[in-house]
Amino acid sequence: MRSQGKLVNTEAGLVSRRIFADQEIYRLEMERIFHRCWLFLGHESMIPRPGDYITNYMGEDPVIVWRDARGSARAFLNTCPHRGNKVCLYDVGRAAALTCSYHGWTFNSEGALVGVPSFEEAYYGQLDRTRWGLVEVPKVVTYGGFIFGNWDAGAISLEEYLGEFRWYFDNLIIHEEMGGLEVIPGCQRYSIVGNWKLFCDNFSGDHYHTPSTHASASRVGVGGGEARETGQGKYGYFEVALAPAHGLGGIFTDGSQYRRDLARAEELGPEVLAYVTERQRRLEERIKEIPAKPYGFSHGNCFPNLDMVGFSSALIDHDFLLCHPKGRDASEIWQWTFIERAAPDIVKDLAARSASRGQAPAGLFGQDDCENFERITENTLTPMADKLTFHYAMSVGYDGEWPGHEEWHTQGLPGLVGPQNWETSQRRYYAYWAQLMGMEA
């Protein structure tokens, strides 16, 4: 369909292809999305000791996430204020101070400029070092072990930003009752052809692509099969749209995921069986006020660019995928694998090995998705693309009033719940995107 008027038309469920290819729109996103939203920076288990650091990106801006001498997690722009060189050249490390390789300016873990070569001879002792420290990210918050940052000093709190997603984050991701999560060392990184939003809205709530895109995996019984068998009935495969623009999918409330974990745990031995049963007991106690009893979810997105997969089982990898924008038609995926701290070593080993088999660059699912994104991107860069829209109109007009929804076992679940095939999460994603961009939706 030809694009008319609005770039994002949520009432009609239409999104202009321009927003995935226009260079001016992309540059505006860096300012209005990535400089105003809360962005994932890392996890406390990545920098457990004072002086530990990792490097990351906030949009296209490189940052150092550094635990200072007093134990606080901080973040700084990874650029020397002197001439702009990168100060930290490593992905991970530990240091009380970092020195720029160009002229040797040195900065401590509080970002202060503490060393200037030839300070007396070249600057005659008159350089005001208090003005030339590293540029600090003004808002950095650790929530449940996860470190988030925001360039906007006046931004709403992280708790308010998480909105309805916070309940799922607390109960189905962090699992404080099992000691929280820890990262398995290492990070899978790969480049893809495609605008960052293509990757992220796929995780927000697009189960619809699974039978077609991942048909080869489904044919051998890996992923997706159980959802189609259960269908969209009382205990179906649910999706949930969460204010302001987050989305989760693959939520079961019939106990089937727990039963599958129990069967697998019995094969793995008594230690694993005890872990799975105790985990379930504590989860049920934690969410006892909610009539519906979700065990986990299979995929999700925390707006704008933090994606999740694998939280449907206690015995597989729990992956966070950060989609870094690298231009209007390119992205870089950084993927970390997490597991609960209380998990037996055999479960942690299983998670580490399974991380490369599923949603991964050489896995069963990752390549399928990225091939689609590459072909889509080729077609968003053509002369005709500006005149065309993408269709996100599935389920328009049925939000909250799905046929038979009264019988669904979803009572008490936060957010707007829908069946496995819908596009409400994506429409909300692009409506919020348009709002932040100052566009009518």
Q: Select which of 35, 214, 405, 409 is catalytic.
A: 214
Do β-strands 139-143 and 146-150 pair in parallel, antiparallel, or remain unpaired?
Answer: antiparallel
Residue with tokens 């694009």, as numbered in its chain: 3
List of residues 6+ apart from 416 with CB closer than 8 A: 240, 241, 242, 399, 400, 424
Q: Select which of 206, 261, 307, 368 is catalytic.
A: 206
Q: Select which of 35, 82, 170, 209 is catalytic.
A: 209
Q: How far apart (Å, rounded) are the C-alpha atoms in residues 372 and 323?
A: 16
299 as an active site residue: the answer is: no
399 as an active site residue: the answer is: no
Q: How far apart (Å, rounded) are the C-alpha atoms in residues 294 and 133?
A: 48
Q: Provide the H-helix boundaries in 163-269.
A: 165-168, 196-205, 210-213, 215-219, 225-230, 256-268
Residue with tokens 């692009």, as numbered in its chain: 430
Between 196-205 and 424-437, two packed helices, what is the crossing angle to 10 degrees?
A: 140
List of residues 6+ apart from 141 with CB closer than 8 A: 38, 147, 148, 149, 157, 158
409 as an active site residue: the answer is: no
35 as an active site residue: the answer is: no
Q: Select which of 35, 61, 68, 103 is catalytic.
A: 103
Q: How far apart (Å, rounded) are the C-alpha atoms in residues 200 and 413?
A: 23
Residue 12: closest CA among 435, 436, 421, 423: 423
Which sequence positions are flagged as catalytic?
A: 103, 206, 209, 214, 369
